[in-house]
């Protein structure tokens, strides 16, 4: 039997996964999977589709976790948080859909693939990805949405929330970028040495903070995982990397993702950052010593990306198409930081 990862092309893998997903929609969710309109959204670690059954006015998002996915019990924790957030109605998120027997996730057997795969189905959140952050009020709305996630985490207890801990130990010391020989080949000896130095430098700052500065976080809150809602407001999608950690990691992730695309006119990014942080403080105070600790968390965010890219690029043609350029850019920024330059996205306060 052909192996899934090595013998099937990227397109053939996606075709196989789509067929399995259509069958599961029928068998487990009572939907007409064969007749549904299926639009692929991405295929990296997860294969994600927009699903529109012929007899429905609304759509769903189907996420089939294929590579190094979270175990089913951790996915159930994610779905419970999403369900609680949807019920609270403070920030718009995709609401989970349970199977006809009441389950959050469905195990899927992928022929030729030795990793467990699981399917989750959620209601599609209408709107436009990547909110137009330069439009008046949008940056504040992005900050408000972030703060509502953190306020929910701080005030609503979820028993048995079992998700990764996103801290220096997990992302830096035990992350694949520093522990995997394959990652070392992609980073090169110079890049690996630089990342080790970064780890030593910023770990003490990343260990700071009071208990109230940590809780449930999105974990991957870049601009493409925020949705400009119809009318006004901003919603949040793709909680696949949610976990526990310092709230500044989410804040740094938003800021970093906008800094990468912001026009280089003086003050453009800074204007966004001020408005975003102003929106955040309309809901809750910023974490303790946020101005001093933001830079280490910008570095931690990029280390998170290095872990993902160095793991996924050898297996996924889509990631391989952009991954090396992203690695090179991050390593150049880290080397400049070691030479005394501010890290991209850091703010003068």
Q: State the burial class of residue 50 (Cβ atoms within 10 Å of its Cβ: 0-12, 13-18, 19+).
A: middle
95 and 149 share one domain:
no
203 and 275 share one domain:
yes
Q: Which structural domain range is residue 301 located in?
A: 138-338
C-alpha–C-alpha distance, residues 308 and 186, integer Å: 12
Single out the residue in 99, 124, 149 at which a domain terminates. Answer: 124
Q: What tens digit of pLDDT does each residue of 211-264 get?
A: 999 999 999 999 999 999 998 999 999 999 999 999 999 999 999 999 999 877
Contact 302, 334 (CB under 8 A): yes
C-alpha–C-alpha distance, residues 281 and 291, integer Å: 14
Q: What tens digit of pLDDT does each residue of 251-287 get?
A: 999 999 999 998 777 779 999 999 999 999 999 999 9
38 and 144 share one domain:
no
Single out the residue in 69, 98, 124 at which a domain terminates. Answer: 124
Contact 18, 34 (CB under 8 A): no
Compute the CA torsion angle 149, 153, 155, 161 (nearest 10 deg): 140
User: Residue 289 maps to which CATH number?
Assistant: 3.90.1200.10
pTM: 0.95
Q: What tens digit of pLDDT does each residue of 140-195 get?
A: 999 999 999 999 999 999 988 999 999 999 999 999 999 999 999 999 999 999 99
300 Cβ partners below 8 Å, 6+ apart?
168, 171, 172, 202, 206, 249, 252
């Amino acid at each position: 039997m052909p192996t899934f990862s090595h013998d099937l092309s990227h397109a053939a893998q996606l075709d196989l996964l789509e067929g399995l997903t259509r069958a599961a929609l029928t068998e487990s969710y009572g939907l007409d999977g064969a007749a549904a309109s299926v639009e692929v959204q991405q295929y990296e670690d997860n294969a994600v589709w927009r699903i529109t059954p012929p007899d429905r006015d609304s759509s769903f998002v189907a996420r089939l976790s294929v590579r190094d996915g979270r175990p089913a019990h951790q996915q159930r924790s994610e779905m419970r948080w999403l369900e609680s957030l949807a019920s609270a109605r403070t920030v718009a998120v995709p609401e989970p859909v349970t199977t006809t027997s009441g389950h959050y996730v469905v195990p899927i057997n992928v022929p030729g693939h030795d990793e467990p795969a699981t399917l989750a189905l959620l209601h599609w959140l209408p709107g436009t990805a990547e909110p137009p952050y330069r439009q008046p009020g949008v940056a504040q709305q992005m900050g408000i949405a972030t703060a509502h996630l953190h306020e929910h985490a701080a005030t609503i207890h979820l028993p048995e929330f079992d998700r990764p801990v996103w801290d220096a130990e997990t992302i830096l010391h035990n992350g694949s970028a520093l522990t995997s020989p394959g990652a070392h080949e992609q980073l090169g000896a110079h890049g690996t040495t630089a990342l080790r130095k970064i780890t030593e430098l910023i770990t003490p700052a990343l260990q700071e903070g009071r208990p109230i500065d940590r809780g449930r976080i999105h974990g991957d809150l870049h601009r493409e995982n925020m949705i400009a809602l119809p009318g006004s407001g901003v919603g949040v999608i793709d909680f696949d990397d949610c976990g526990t950690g310092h709230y500044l990691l989410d804040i740094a992730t938003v800021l970093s993702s906008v800094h990468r695309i912001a026009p280089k006119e003086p003050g453009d990014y800074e204007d966004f950052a001020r408005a975003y942080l102003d929106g955040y403080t309309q809901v809750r105070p910023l974490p303790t010593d946020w101005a001093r600790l933001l830079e280490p968390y910008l570095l931690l965010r990029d280390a998170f990306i290095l872990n993902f890219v160095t793991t996924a690029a050898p297996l996924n043609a889509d990631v391989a198409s952009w991954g090396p350029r992203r690695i090179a850019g991050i390593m150049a920024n880290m080397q400049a930081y070691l030479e005394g330059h501010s890290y991209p996205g850091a703010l003068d306060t």
